[in-house]
Structure 1
Amino acid sequence: MKNKNIWLNLLSVLSVVLLILAWCAVSMNPDGMIPTPFAVWERFLLLLDKPISGANIGIHIVDSLRRVFMGWLAATLVGVLFGLMLGWNRTFSAVCKPVFEMIRPIPAIAWIPLITIWLGVGETSKIVIVFIGAVMPIVVNTYTGVSMVPELNINVGKIFGANSRQMFLKIVLPSSLPAIFAGLKTAVGVAWTVVLAAEMISAKTGLGYIVNLGSNSADIALVVIGIIVIAVIGALLSAVLTRVERWLCPWKEE
């Protein structure tokens, strides 16, 4: 088993190396549309020496992370509770689910003009937009997890005389945790997508602002820097959530 894990880790490293080699090969095109890794590294060093909008790369990362975290956290609190109610309470589902299903297909980005008009172009509007984008997959995965709880588990709880509260806390909620965490991880990716779109429209800091600035000034290396930073942060956040999931759902490993 240990040798298998080592082999799988080596394959993961190899895939990253192959991606970098492919990048190097494609960037050799003389048209210069794709910067080389060395050119991106040089632009990164220049970015450290000459901050954009008076803020170094760390401040841009922190600002984007703060917007993502606040919107995602609010979406987690509201989305998990709402999803549990949709999956557990038939009356609540009959009233609220049709409205939710009508709103759910609307892309979060489509709300940007309205939210900007209602709340302005400050931090609140960006956090609200992130919330709208992140809450949808959390709700869907949560109520799907509740609806997929095996009927056998419910029947066993009834046989042992569990009341509704005990049934929910001891059977339904633990069984739904893997689906809930799948929604949380999906929501992280959606939150990054939405916050970048919001920052491209109205922000002076953030990774979305950096990508937009690079695009408008034909600074492709700067765009690639923003993309790489977003990818690394997104992967780290997903890894953290996976660790938390393994801690809370140890049975899933089996």
Structure 2
Amino acid sequence: MKKTEETIVCSEYERRERRRSQIYSVLPFVSVALLLILWFAASSAEGSNFPSPKDIADRFTLFLQKPIKNLSLMGHIWASLQRVFIALGVSWLIGISFGVLIGWNKKANALLGPMFTAFRSVPPLAWVPLVTMWFGTGEFPKILIVFVGALMPVVVNTEAGIANVQKLYLDVGSIFNASQRQMLFEIAIPSSLDAIFAGIRTSTSAGWMVVLAAEMLGGKSGVGFLITRGMDSGDYSLCLLSMICIGLVGALLAVIIQVLERIILPWTAKKSS
């Protein structure tokens, strides 16, 4: 009798979980449908200048026929991505190293921690006037601004991960007479990989947003430049087309980072499942 009741409870639980997973699989499509409905409603309202889906399709076709600044839409997207990839590579290298330093070494944290906290409080775009004054409006200033925006999340998450390594792990290392180098590279850093990847995810989205703002403030290529071009010329279809591209590329970057995280840290997939 007891086994029968347990079987009924388990089957009921499985049905609920199956129903819940079905609902979760349908919800993204519902979200997209609601977004499209709102888009049609906004564009078809009386006296509205909001571009319709047809306007976006026509503007995309025109873009294929007449590139802007001798670059296709993919060319402008790639120009933005190149700046982001360069800045992210440097920011991850420096940010993880610096985060490990101030998270592991108390003297370094006491010396450099307050300086970094003050530096972190300044928004990346606040550096635009100074960077422009020092380096002009070429490629390097844009990459530098993206680097500043992408650096902060990596340092903060890496420092937090290193500083919050469970004491039990370090005690085990001490019992086996591990050196400080072994404690850092074989215990602390591997234990902090979840936090480090959280910083990488955040820095990727931050870098993508910052490069668009930097291109809007000055540039002759990139998706941010396209938005500025559309605003200056009253081409709102170009603005919205660029915004759609921004959202799609940002989502693609997030998926790529998530896939890399699951490959490098397979236990994160088990946690989310």
Both structures adopt the same fold (TM-score exceeding 0.5): yes
The offset of 1:63, in angstroms, is 0.5
Distance 1:179 1:168 in 2: 15
Q: When the two structures are superposed, what TM-score results if normalisation uses the length of structure 1?
A: 0.94
1:97 to 113, 125, 131: 113
1:241 CA drift (Å): 0.7
Give the alignment of 1:77-156 within 5 angstroms. Answer: 77-156=93-172
Counterpart Cα distance in 2 of 1:183 and 1:92: 21
Tell whether 2:41 aligns with 1:25.
Answer: yes
Are the aligned partners of 2:42 and 2:48 in contact in 1 as well (CA < 8 Å)? no
- Displacement after TM superposition at 1:7 (Å): 4.7
- Alignment match, 2:86: 70
Query: Size of the alignment, in residue pairs?
Result: 254
Q: Is residue 173 from structure 1 mapped to residue 184 from structure 2 by the alignment?
A: no
Segments ≥4 residues shifted beyond 6 Å: none
Query: Quick check: 77-86 or 165-174, which moved more?
Result: 165-174
Structure of larger gyration radius? 2
Aligned to 1:12: 28
| Paired residue secondary structure (1:27) | helix
Shift of 1:6: 5.6
User: Does structure 1 residue 201 correspond to structure 2 residue 201?
Assistant: no
- Give the Cα separation in 1 of the matches to 2:166 and 2:44: 55
How big is each residue's C-alpha offset from its partner over 1:171-226, in whole Å with a ceiling of 9 and x where there is no partner?
21122111111111111121122211221122111101000111112211111111
Amino acid at match of 2:203: A
Which one-letter code corresponds to 1:44 in the other structure?
F
State the distance in 1 between where 2:262 and 2:30 align: 25
Report 1:180-191 matches (<5 A): 180-191=196-207
| C-alpha distance in structure 1 between counterparts of 2:161 and 2:29, whole Å | 33
Instruction: Write out per-residue CA displacement over residues 118-175 of structure 1, whole angstroms, 9 at most, x where no aligned residue.
Output: 1111111111111011101111111011122212222222222222122112221122
Cα RMSD for the two superposed structures: 1.7
TM-score by length of 2: 0.88
2:240 matches 1:216: no
State percent identity of aligned pairs: 41
TM-superposition CA deviations, 1:34-64 (whole Å, max 9, x none): 2111211111111111111121111101110
- Counterpart AA for 1:27: S
Gaps of 5+ in 2: 1-13
| d(CA) in 1 for partners of 2:172, 2:267 | 19
Aligned twin of 1:36 = 52
SS in 1 for 2:149: helix
Distance 1:54 1:143, change over 3 A: same
